[in-house]
Amino acid sequence: MGRYDKLKEQVYLCNMEIPRKGLALYTWGNVSAYDPDNGAIAIKPSGVSYDELKPSDIVVLDIDGRIIEGTMNPSSDTATHLVLYRNFPSVRGIVHTHSTYATAWAQTCLPLTIYGTTHADHLAADVPCTEVMADERIQGNYEEETGNQIVDAFKNMSYSDIEMVLVACHGPFTWGVTPEKAVYNAVVLEELARMAFITHTIRPDTPALKKSLCDKHYFRKHGKDAYYGQSSNK
C-alpha cells in the first residue's frame, strides 16, 4: 500500500459526501485534507464528476503546490486551499461547494446573520463575508487571492472558532480539524443559510441573536466547559 493511499481514500470518501448531502451538481465542489506528518495535501482532481471519481484519481501535493502523486490536474481551487492551510495552521480539511443557499447568500455580499441557536451551536457570530475582490487581484493569481481575501476576513476573528466563510459573489468555504469536520461544516452552513433565508423573508428586521444566547449555545458544545455529547470536551 502506497504512502498516501490512506489519505487519498479519506479525501475520496469526503468528496463523495458532497453530492450525497445535496451540496453539489456534476463536478462542482471539492474537498482536500492535509497530513503534515507526510507533508502532503490530497485534493479532488479538476472537473471530474462524482459519478466517475475513484480514490486513485485524488491528487497529492506538497504545501507549495508541487504534485507528489497523481496524473490528473488538481482542483482549479487548489491555490485557495494552500493559502488557507499555510495561514490556518491547525486546519486538516477544507471544503468548497456551490451549495444553493450558502452560494445565494454569498452572492448578496452580506455576512450571514446569526439568527438563532442552531447557528450558535456551531459558531457564536455571523458567518463573515469577504470583500468583493479588487480588479488587480482578479487579474493576478485569482485562486491564491481568493485565499488571501479569506485570510483578510479573519484578521480579527479566530479561524478555529469560526470554521466557515462566504466568499463574496462566489460561495462558501469551510474547514475543520479533520476533513470530515469540514464536510460537516459545509452541511451546517447550507442549513443555516436556508433557515436565515426563511427568517429574513418572514421578518426582514429580525434582530441578530443576543450575545448571551450566542455564548451559551456555543460554549455548551465547545471549549473546556462543554457538556453536549458523550465526551466532556468536544
User: What residues have CB less than 8 Å from 36, skipping those under 6 apart?
Assistant: none
**What is d(CA 97, CA 24) in angstroms, rounded to the nearest whole number?**
6
CB of 24 to a second copy, least distance (A): 10
What is the identity of the amino acid at 226? A
Report the Cα 159 to chain-centroid distance in Å: 11
Using the contact rule CB under 8 A, the part of the chain among 12-20, 34-42, 130-138, 153-161 near a second copy is 130-138
Is 67 an interacting residue with respect to a second copy (CB under 8 A)?
Answer: no
**What is d(CA 120, CA 45) in angstroms, rounded to the nearest whole number?**
34
CB of 39 to a second copy, least distance (A): 25
Binding residue for a second copy, selected from 20, 39, 108, 233, defined by CB under 8 A: 108
Whether 126 is catalytic is no
Question: Could you tell me if 67 and 41 are in contact, meaning their C-beta atoms sit under 8 angstroms apart?
Answer: no
DSSP codes of every residue in 155-183:
TTS-TTT--EEEETTTEEEEEESSHHHHH
What is the identity of the amino acid at 156? N
CB of 74 to a second copy, least distance (A): 11
Q: Which of residues 7-46 bind a second copy (CB under 8 A)?
A: 25-28, 45-46
At 201 the three-state DSSP class reads helix
Q: Which of residues 166-225 bind a second copy (CB under 8 A)?
A: 169-171, 184, 187-188, 191, 194-203, 206, 209-210, 212-213, 216, 220
Q: Which three cell numbers stand for residue 219?
A: 460554549
Is 111 an interacting residue with respect to a second copy (CB under 8 A)?
Answer: no
DSSP 42: E
Residue carrying C-alpha cell 451538481: 25
Is 85 an interacting residue with respect to a second copy (CB under 8 A)?
Answer: no
Q: Single out the catalytic residue among 5, 35, 57, 121.
A: 121
Whether 121 is catalytic is yes
CB of 154 to a second copy, least distance (A): 21
Q: Which three cell numbers stand for residue 15?
A: 468528496
β partners of residue 69? 60
Question: Could you tell me if 61 and 67 are in contact, meaning their C-beta atoms sit under 8 angstroms apart?
Answer: yes
Q: Which is nearer to a second copy, 3 or 211 (CB)?
A: 211
Binding residue for a second copy, selected from 3, 62, 63, 76, defined by CB under 8 A: 76
Applying CB under 8 A, which residues contact a second copy?
A: 25-28, 45-48, 72-73, 76, 98, 100-101, 103-110, 115-118, 132-133, 135, 138-139, 142, 169-171, 184, 187-188, 191, 194-203, 206, 209-210, 212-213, 216, 220, 227-230, 234
Catalytic residues: 121, 228
